[in-house]
A and B are shown apart, each in its own frame.
Chain A
Amino acid sequence: MAYVVIAYLWLSILLYLILGGADFGAGIIELLTSAKNRIRTRKTLYHAIGPIWEANHMWLIIAIVILFVGFPVIYSEMSTYLHIPLVIMLVGIIARGTAFVFRHYDAIKDDMQWLYNRIFLLSSFVTPFFLGIIAASTISGRIQPDASDFQTAYVFSWFNLFSISVGLFTVSICGFLASVFLIGEADDEADRKRFVNKAIRMNIAAIVCGIIVFIVAEIDKIPLRHWVFGEPLGLIAVQAATVSLAVLWYFIYRGKNMLPRIMAGFQVTMILFAVSYAHFPDFIRLHGGRSLSLLELQAPPKTMEALGWALIIGSVFILPALFYLYYSFQRHEER
């Protein structure tokens, strides 16, 4: 059952990265849109993510619940030594979710809209940035539970070049996902063109940030290169991601909407696969070579059994309903 639970954990992290990521990205795209097009973009964005954004963020809750029920030691260690970035990310989640709802449900549209927008846009950037920082910190080997001073234990565990570069990489991936998603939601050719341009820029940004991540990893002596290119399966995943990028652009220029989205999701899946496969079953790498393994630190068998069944039964309800939700609110006409 442990493998079932781990599979669900991986899947919810992946889906949060893709769906939640595209959702954060939509805010980033709005942030990067020039003032004259911003209101148009906002409208498209609202129609595109309005009905589904709450559901997209549920994956984070599922992941965190799996972690604290199934792998409580890992959850506690993470919460203790990455306390500060987690708090900042939470503030971002709160600010973003409420600002998005408030700006829509404020019955009077006046100067308050400016404030909601500012908060929404800023938190759309900060939240995925810190998510990336947290993710990078779990594998960068900087967490030192036996450190004696505050900075080493609670600040340098996440405040380092590698984590920050992964944070920026995450932001650019979110922006890329969102722009590819929004291409299919555009109202006319001009809008479509704008989103295609955004996607090009975001794609370049993601590649640049990705290269920076590898360079910083080399400087910081984090064996990222070995993880990604050293394993045959990881290597295949990276190659598949590269090929799918070409396919994605081919489909965009052929005017397709759904296929590029699938390709973008596929790329993120391959990247996450390559990185997580390389150090499975370790979830957190600590300073000094020790690591916290999902298999060694799992909850007692009865809990894993119950959690596994809860997830299987839960997904029987959730997945069809979720697909129907996406299906109902997507644009049916393929242009």
Chain B
Amino acid sequence: MDDFLAARSQMALSLGFHIIYACIGMVMPFFMAVSHYKWIKSKDDRYRQLTKAWSKGVAIFFATGAVSGTMLSFELGLLWPEFMKHAGPIFGMPFSLEGTAFFIEAIALGFYLYGWNRFNPWFHWFTGVVVGVSGLASGILVVSANAWMNSPAGFDFDNGTYSNIDPIAAMFNDAWLFQSIHMTLAAIAATGFAVAGVHAFMILKKKNVDFHTRAFKIAASFGTIAALLQPISGDLSAKDIAVRQPAKLAAMEAHFHTSEKAPLIIGGIPNEETETIDYAIELPGMLSFLAHGDFDQEVTGLDKFAKEDRPPVLVTHFAFQIMVGIGMFMMLLAVIFFLSYWKKQWLDRRWFVKLFALATPLGFIAVEAGWTVTEVGRQPWIIHNVMRTADAVTPMPGIAYSFYIFTAIYLSLTVVVIFLLNRQIKMVPLLYDQPEDKSNH
């Protein structure tokens, strides 16, 4: 494996795993806090048990998220020293703030996990909320650093020198707001659907139905609200990218030739050699409308960019299709979930529960796909139109070996985390079962 490819693969792998741990670690505390709130208010012991069960999940995901995040802060330099040498002082501001947010999160989690029966109940609850809020803040800050790579700001670039550096302007670059909103909603939707899905599985198995139904409702409420809002945020992001990164939009849509009344391409297999797309459904004028709000407007195609400045079309297009397709499906599920407020009997129907059980991994597949769109779609640049990824890579040879090591580590970590969660869930009947609801099954 060549070193550049190995470095890219290792970075993709590390971020690909971290994004899952981080999303769950920043969203699940909110589920936990809601359940905790219900317990304090209602004194219904099932909510206390649910809160405790979820807090264990939070602890596992926070720890894996924290170590994989620590690793990433080193990997930036280990793999891309040339990038960090120049970019560090410009886009580092959100990272230094994120350090604080992350620290607060770790402190609050210490209070929360070990604070049962030690503190005033509301103080204890509050530390749980702080875990969620600081986790969310960390997420937004890190995304704003990534947004800077898409939309560089806060410096003048002239003949390879970076001058006039303003880290605050870099942090509030043009892309940060829409990208943060999109990522935050994605995290909530993905985690909400994943947690709801796991509990739906348990309901299907008729195990502790009462316990799992309560859990399902809280998680699904978060997930479905985010899934309903996400298409709006996606539309804002697309319009933003059409202006800032036309090459990325063109690759997402496999839009090879600049044209007016540009069609929206659904599915299909793009061919980068012949610059055509096969087997696609084309909706005339829709791309012009979605990108610029006008059916007749010209949309820049890949032909406006030199071959060496184009992102890989196949991967970007597929990833985008997957993300949008899943997003639409999740929105549909969200509508069904809200209809169940009127049609209460749906909650007990197997098809309804099954639908959510099947949707467990979907949100995270969409998160990975969306992240692929933004990262692969930015190539060949590491800093859009400023520095090429190939120029940023470490001079050290043999990165392939480090890639193999990290692949092994991440795979085994994932196996162990799944194994642990499985055991936690298996133990629910013993740890959290209530004598009175044993009669239910």
- A residues adjacent to B (C-beta < 8 A): 50-52, 54-55, 57-58, 60-62, 64-66, 68-70, 72-73, 75-80, 83, 86-87, 90-91, 93-95, 97-98, 100-102, 105-108, 150, 153-154, 299-300, 302-303, 306-307, 310-311, 313-314, 317-318, 321-322, 325, 328-329
**Contact assessment for A79 and B74 in the assembled complex, using a CB-CB cutoff below 8 Å:** yes
Known: A51-B110, A51-B113, A80-B394. 19 other contacts (CB 8 A): A62-B99, A64-B73, A70-B89, A72-B88, A72-B92, A76-B81, A83-B396, A90-B74, A94-B68, A94-B413, A97-B64, A102-B60, A105-B424, A106-B420, A150-B398, A302-B167, A317-B100, A321-B108, A328-B111
Q: Mark B87-126, 1 if CB is under 8 A from A, else 0.
A: 1111011011111101110111111011100110000000
**Contact assessment for B102 and A61 in the assembled complex, using a CB-CB cutoff below 8 Å:** yes
| Residues of chain B lying within 8 A (CB to CB) of residue A69 | 88-89, 92-93, 95-96, 167
Bound complex: CA of A313 vs CA of B85, how far in Å? 26
| Residues of chain A lying within 8 A (CB to CB) of residue B110 | 51-52, 54-55, 325, 329
**Contact assessment for B84 and A72 in the assembled complex, using a CB-CB cutoff below 8 Å:** yes
- B residues adjacent to A (C-beta < 8 A): 56, 59-60, 62-64, 66-71, 73-78, 81-82, 84-90, 92-93, 95-100, 102-104, 106-111, 113-115, 118-119, 165-168, 394-398, 402, 405, 409, 413, 416, 420, 423-424, 426-427, 431
Given contacts A68-B77, A69-B93, A107-B426, contact A57 B70 (CB under 8 A): yes
| Residues of chain A lying within 8 A (CB to CB) of residue B118 | 328
| Residues of chain B lying within 8 A (CB to CB) of residue A310 | 93, 96-97, 100
Among residues of A, the one whose C-beta sits closest to the C-beta of B63 is A101
**Contact assessment for A300 and B68 in the assembled complex, using a CB-CB cutoff below 8 Å:** no
Can you pick out 8 interface pairs between chain A and chain B where the beta carbons lie within 8 Å of each other? A54-B66, A55-B110, A69-B93, A83-B78, A93-B71, A98-B67, A107-B426, A317-B104
B16 to chain A, nearest CB (A): 16
**B88 in complex: contacting residue of A54, A75, A107, A328, CB < 8 Å:** A75
Bound complex: CA of A55 vs CA of B76, how far in Å? 22
B216 to chain A, nearest CB (A): 20
Bound complex: CA of A302 vs CA of B169, how far in Å? 11
**Contact assessment for A107 and B74 in the assembled complex, using a CB-CB cutoff below 8 Å:** no
Bound complex: CA of A317 vs CA of B97, how far in Å? 12
| Residues of chain B lying within 8 A (CB to CB) of residue A108 | 423, 426-427
**Contact assessment for B423 and A87 in the assembled complex, using a CB-CB cutoff below 8 Å:** no
Which interface residue of B81, B96, B106 has the most chain A CB atoms within 10 A?
B96
**Contact assessment for B100 and A91 in the assembled complex, using a CB-CB cutoff below 8 Å:** no
**Contact assessment for A299 and B89 in the assembled complex, using a CB-CB cutoff below 8 Å:** yes
Among residues of B, the one whose C-beta sits closest to the C-beta of A47 is B114
| Residues of chain A lying within 8 A (CB to CB) of residue B93 | 69, 303, 306-307, 310
Among residues of A, the one whose C-beta sits closest to the C-beta of B87 is A72
A309 to chain B, nearest CB (A): 10
**Contact assessment for B77 and A76 in the assembled complex, using a CB-CB cutoff below 8 Å:** yes
**A314 in complex: contacting residue of B68, B97, B420, CB < 8 Å:** B97
| Residues of chain B lying within 8 A (CB to CB) of residue A83 | 78, 394, 396, 402
Bound complex: CA of A328 vs CA of B89, how far in Å? 38
**B59 in complex: contacting residue of A101, A107, A321, CB < 8 Å:** A101
B221 to chain A, nearest CB (A): 26
Among residues of B, the one whose C-beta sits closest to the C-beta of A76 is B81
A317 to chain B, nearest CB (A): 6
Bound complex: CA of A75 vs CA of B114, how far in Å? 36
**Contact assessment for B67 and A150 in the assembled complex, using a CB-CB cutoff below 8 Å:** no
Bound complex: CA of A100 vs CA of B420, how far in Å? 13
| Residues of chain A lying within 8 A (CB to CB) of residue B115 | 328
| Residues of chain B lying within 8 A (CB to CB) of residue A65 | 73, 92, 95-96, 98-99
Given contacts A93-B67, A101-B60, A102-B416, contact A307 B395 (CB under 8 A): no
**Contact assessment for A80 and B167 in the assembled complex, using a CB-CB cutoff below 8 Å:** no
Bound complex: CA of A107 vs CA of B430, how far in Å? 10
Which interface residue of B82, B167, B413 has the most chain A CB atoms within 10 A?
B167
Bound complex: CA of A280 vs CA of B202, how far in Å? 60
Given contacts A54-B66, A97-B67, contact A79 B77 (CB under 8 A): yes
| Residues of chain B lying within 8 A (CB to CB) of residue A75 | 77, 81, 84-85, 88
Bound complex: CA of A303 vs CA of B160, how far in Å? 19
Bound complex: CA of A314 vs CA of B97, how far in Å? 7
Bound complex: CA of A87 vs CA of B77, how far in Å? 11
Given contacts A303-B165, A317-B104, contact A72 B86 (CB under 8 A): yes
Given contacts A55-B110, A299-B89, A329-B114, contact A87 B78 (CB under 8 A): yes
Bound complex: CA of A321 vs CA of B69, how far in Å? 22
| Residues of chain B lying within 8 A (CB to CB) of residue A90 | 70-71, 74-75
**B106 in complex: contacting residue of A58, A87, A101, CB < 8 Å:** A58
**Contact assessment for B167 and A55 in the assembled complex, using a CB-CB cutoff below 8 Å:** no
B400 to chain A, nearest CB (A): 13
Bound complex: CA of A57 vs CA of B115, how far in Å? 20
A5 to chain B, nearest CB (A): 10
**Contact assessment for A76 and B84 in the assembled complex, using a CB-CB cutoff below 8 Å:** yes
Bound complex: CA of A51 vs CA of B59, how far in Å? 11
Given contacts A65-B99, A318-B104, contact A87 B416 (CB under 8 A): no
| Residues of chain A lying within 8 A (CB to CB) of residue B99 | 58, 61-62, 65, 314
**B424 in complex: contacting residue of A72, A107, A311, CB < 8 Å:** A107
Bound complex: CA of A302 vs CA of B164, how far in Å? 9
Bound complex: CA of A64 vs CA of B395, how far in Å? 21
B424 to chain A, nearest CB (A): 5
B121 to chain A, nearest CB (A): 15
**Contact assessment for A54 and B63 in the assembled complex, using a CB-CB cutoff below 8 Å:** yes
A100 to chain B, nearest CB (A): 8
Given contacts A105-B420, A306-B167, contact A54 B62 (CB under 8 A): yes
A143 to chain B, nearest CB (A): 13
Given contacts A58-B103, A307-B96, contact A107 B431 (CB under 8 A): yes
Bound complex: CA of A58 vs CA of B67, how far in Å? 10
**Contact assessment for A79 and B78 in the assembled complex, using a CB-CB cutoff below 8 Å:** yes
**Contact assessment for A78 and B167 in the assembled complex, using a CB-CB cutoff below 8 Å:** no
B3 to chain A, nearest CB (A): 12
B155 to chain A, nearest CB (A): 9
| Residues of chain B lying within 8 A (CB to CB) of residue A57 | 66, 70, 106
**Contact assessment for B89 and A58 in the assembled complex, using a CB-CB cutoff below 8 Å:** no
**A68 in complex: contacting residue of B95, B104, B394, CB < 8 Å:** B95
Among residues of B, the one whose C-beta sits closest to the C-beta of A8 is B96
Bound complex: CA of A102 vs CA of B62, how far in Å? 12
Among residues of B, the one whose C-beta sits closest to the C-beta of A108 is B423
Bound complex: CA of A97 vs CA of B396, how far in Å? 28
A78 to chain B, nearest CB (A): 7
| Residues of chain A lying within 8 A (CB to CB) of residue B74 | 64, 79, 86, 90
B46 to chain A, nearest CB (A): 18
Which interface residue of A60, A302, A314, A325 has the most chain B CB atoms within 10 A?
A302
